[in-house]
Structure 1
Amino acid sequence: MGVTPDYREFTLSLAQVVQTHIDCPLRYLEYREGSARLGLEPGPGHSEELPLDGPVGKPSDMPESPAPVTAPWCVTLLSPAAGLGQLRALLAFFDEQQWQVRSAETLSRNRDCTVIRFQLDARLEFTPARHACLQQAERLGADLVLQPGDTQRPPRLAGFDMDSTLIDAEVIDELAKITGIGEQVSAITEAAMRGELDFRQSFKRRMALLRGFSERRLAEIAPQLPIKEGAQRLLLALRALGCKSAILSGGFTYFAHYLQREKLAVDIVHANELEFADGALTGEVVEPIVDGQRKRELLGEMANEMELELGQVIAVGDGANDIPMLNLGALGIAIHPKPKVRLEAPQAITHFGLDAALYLFGFNDRQLAALLGE
């Protein structure tokens, strides 16, 4: 049963958008060849007719697929509360950077997640341009993701961190809480994830503190691990697209294999082995430790084995030990990242779940619904 939209479509030029002085919720923007179609809702204090110059019509349906990417760069706005004022500020930002908008397509029209992809003609240096986007994103209260235009496609191989990426927990910290040393271990974990401590040394220190932890208790903890928002949907979509996914974790194979078996559509697992004696942890580590460099090496080795170019590979993580693999392939997506990682990762998503990454592959909601049978 259909629902009558509570917004209308206005046809304007981008110059007219920039010159407006009102704000109201923005449902969509479709722009090409100098003309922009905007789905707008009357805001509080406005009369039924929005005071905008331009033709007014009924809302149009989302296209079956977005326009092909032909520009050298894309910037994707992912906003929890998109508005005309936010769009106006973003267009002014592009103008300041001397980035010309070739076209714009709305990939999601959800009220709590409006996603608009801008194709840009620009000569830019990626790192300073990315930092400028991060600063603008903070001002907008949204995510603003810069990527080369040719990376707007599905990957063939995706490497994922596990703790605080696929699950909303640091497993080693959860074990420590049970043994009464939670604060001591979590402080070490946080320092390592911020890049203040060497991961290998911090890992050995934390494992030593867990000596004697019962293997039986591990089996009780595994089903309680909270799955990150959007993780299941993203992994199912990747599998449907024929993309292999791998856990590359400084955590433990014990839990990664449980997630693979019971919860997540993961194809490959590389993580740290736990050593037991008499049904309890020995507190020793089993080499090789999966640290940041090891994650990068493993992802590269898998790509070679699959005969893939690195442009077909992506990585997703949140901590400092993920930075090496995040900078390996076509996209390196930091999800809800630590501050250091947000600055160093090629792409970052802070306001949404893992499945928001699907928009960076060039899909809109109609395509995703068909892909996932939603």
Structure 2
Amino acid sequence: MNQRTLLITLTGPDRPGVTSRLFSVLAGFPVAVADIEQVVIRGRLTLGVLVAHTGDAPTGTGQTLGALWTAVERVAEDLGMEVQLATGSDTKEKRRRGRLHVSVLGAPLLPAAMAGITGRIAASGANIDRIERLSSYPVTCIELAVSGADPDALRAELAVEAHAQQVDVAVQRSGLYRRAKRLIVMDVDSTLIQAEVIELLAAHAGCLDEVAKVTEEAMRGELDFAESLRRRVALLEGLPEEIFTKVSKEIVLTPGARTLVRTLKRLDYRFAIVSGGFTQLTDGLVSELGIDYSAANTLEVVDGVLTGRVVGEIVDRAGKARALERFARQAGIPLSQTVAIGDGANDLDMIAAAGLGIAFNAKPVVRQAADAAVSVPYLDSILYLLGISRAEVEAADAEDGLVAREY
């Protein structure tokens, strides 16, 4: 038998005690709480409560709901709030397929973008169950809980709209799958840091233009990475070993990098870097940021001078994927619980191998292959894709006495 229900929606200025006043009134009636949602925007509260009648006598249901209606209206009047009430029948909601989280990032995020994204969701036959803001600065991130959609089909549709609206959109399955991520593996050059280390070295060797050209070809996937690395490293022959100290002082972290690492380490994530760069410089980042695992190439040095060669196996596209798998084994974490972040073609294999592959300010070939893409220049925006809000980050920082912002 269907139960009679009453949906109560209170709207007005937020203040302490609104929710408790409403439920104190409801406690005097034979009803059960079926659903609750509450949101506060700029000090204005919207509280929705769905209650179902639990009395034994169907003939008394109408009288009960009528009295409840009157009591709720009186509370709203006392609080100076508006109230809407609607009756109905409690039919069991069918579980929709494809429960997803859709994250929309923009700087700024314009109404046209939200219109386009939500329009595509509606056109796919899916429903938006809930909307929440995860961040308002330096990038706005809105998260939509969506049901009734096929994830691959919706991801393809929203990718087209995201490109047209110049925003980032990520589509992920909800539930434990999303919350289970426990290992972050990140590229270094132009991802964790703002430059290509080999170009910093090349500037001191007087061959920056030539090295930069080869680097760009490799990142676009037009040139085999291992071959490109050998060609570029050969141009560094003769540089003194002291160059590593100079270049390490020139390295600038990407905005939000410290926040990203610090926040995920608080949550007991393992953090790894894997780089086509060089251990002589990545080792400093490992120490500075508290990185758990790392893999990079090593420049050969003989008698205090660079020889223009690399020692050992080159960390290339396939090598990065192997490193991700090795780190996951060492941490005892399945690949489905890993996140890979990169920007160039040599990151494609590890992005494909990870449970979640993220393209960060990446080349088109990487954006197309990744599960999600972030084009804003703030690395901690990745936290929002993991369901972590800026308010939660700032609260944790405040507890640790960290109040300065990186932006």
Could you say which TM-score interval applies, normalised by the shorter chain? 0.7 to 0.9
Equivalent residue in structure 1 for 2:264, among 226, 238, 242: 238
SS of the residue corresponding to residue 353 of structure 2 reads coil
Counting only pairs closer than 5 Å after superposition, residues 186-205 of structure 1 correspond to structure 2 as 186-205=212-231
Q: Is the 8 A contact 2:320 2:347 kept in 1?
A: yes
- Counterpart CA distance in 1 for 2:37 and 2:117 is 17
- TM-score scaled by length of structure 1: 0.78
Go from structure 1 to structure 2 and tell me whether the alpha carbon gap of 1:177 and 1:352 turns closer, same or farther (over 3 Å shift). Answer: closer
In 2, are the aligned partners of 1:234 and 1:354 still within 8 Å (CA)? Answer: yes
Q: How many angstroms does 1:221 deviate by?
A: 1.0
Supply the distance in 2 between the matched residues of 1:98 and 1:281 (Cα, whole angstroms).
Answer: 61
> In structure 2, what is the Cα distance between the partners aligned to 1:170 and 1:233?
21
Could you say which residue in structure 1 is the equivalent of 2:179? 153
Report the more deviating stretch, 80-89 or 242-251. 80-89
What is residue 303 of structure 1 aligned with on the other side?
Answer: 328
Residues 151, 173 of structure 2: 8 Å contact kept: no
* SS in structure 2 at match of 1:163: helix
Q: CA deviation at 1:149?
A: 1.6
Conserved? CA contact 1:107–1:359, under 8 Å: yes
- Distance change (3 Å), C-alpha of 1:331 and 1:57: farther
The residue type paired with residue 298 of structure 1 is A
Which residue of the partner structure matches residue 227 of structure 1? 253
* Among candidates 254, 269, 277, match of residue 294 of structure 2: 269
Given that 1:71 and 1:119 are in contact with CA atoms closer than 8 Å, whether structure 2 keeps it comes out as no
Q: Which has the higher contact order (CA 8 A, sep 6+)?
A: 1
Instruction: Tell me, yes or no, if the aligned pair for 2:275 and 2:295 is still in contact at 8 Å.
Output: yes
Give the TM-score, by structure 2 length.
Answer: 0.72
Question: Aligned in 2, Cα 1:157/1:37: closer, same or farther, shift over 3 Å?
Answer: closer
Distance in 2 between residues matched to 1:171 and 1:113, nearest whole Å: 27
Q: Which amino acid aligns with 1:267?
A: D
Post-superposition shift, 1:306? Answer: 2.1
Task: Structure 2: state its 5+ residue gaps.
Answer: 1-10, 13-34, 43-79, 83-96
Residues 292-331 of structure 1 mapped to structure 2, 5 A cutoff = 292-331=317-356
Match of residue 114, structure 1, among 122, 134, 140: 140
CA–CA distance in structure 2, aligned partners of residues 352 and 175 of structure 1? 24
Q: Does residue 206 of the first structure (1) align with residue 253 of the second (2)?
A: no
Corresponding residue for residue 75 of structure 1: 102
Distance 2:354 2:374 in 1: 17
Number of matched pairs = 317
| Equivalent residues of 1:154, 1:361 under 8 A apart | no
Q: Select the residue among 366, 381, 384 that pairs with 1:356.
A: 381
Can you list the C-alpha shifts for 1:20-65, whole angstroms capped at 9, x where unaligned? xxxxxxxxxxxxx89996958xxxxxxxxxxxxxxx989xxxxxxx
The counterpart of 2:285, out of the listed 256, 259, 275, is 259
The residue identity in structure 2 corresponding to 1:137 is: A
Quote the Cα distance in structure 2 between the aligned partners of 1:109 and 1:38: 15
Q: Within the alignment, does 1:105 sit opposite 2:124 as a pair?
A: no
- Identity score, percent: 34
| 3-state DSSP of counterpart to 2:307 | strand
Matched position secondary structure for 1:165: helix
Greater per-residue helix proportion: 2
Partner of 1:51 in structure 2?
Answer: none
User: How far is 1:190 from its partner?
Assistant: 0.5
Q: Which residue of structure 1 lines up, in the alignment, with residue 150 of structure 2?
A: 124
Structure 1 pair 301/282, CA: closer, same or farther in 2 (3 Å)? Answer: same
Distance in 2 (alpha carbons) for counterparts of 1:305 and 1:180: 41
How far the C-alpha of 1:330 sits from its partner, in A, is 2.1
Given candidates 288, 292, 301, the residue that maps to 2:313 is 288
1:367 is aligned to 2:397: no
Residue 93 of structure 1: aligned partner = 120
Distance 2:313 2:36 in 1: 56
Secondary structure class of the residue paired with 2:142: strand
Summarize the Cα distance change of 1:37–1:136 in structure 2 as closer, same or farther, 3 Å threshold. Answer: farther
Any unmatched runs of 5+ in structure 1? 1-8, 11-32, 41-55, 59-69
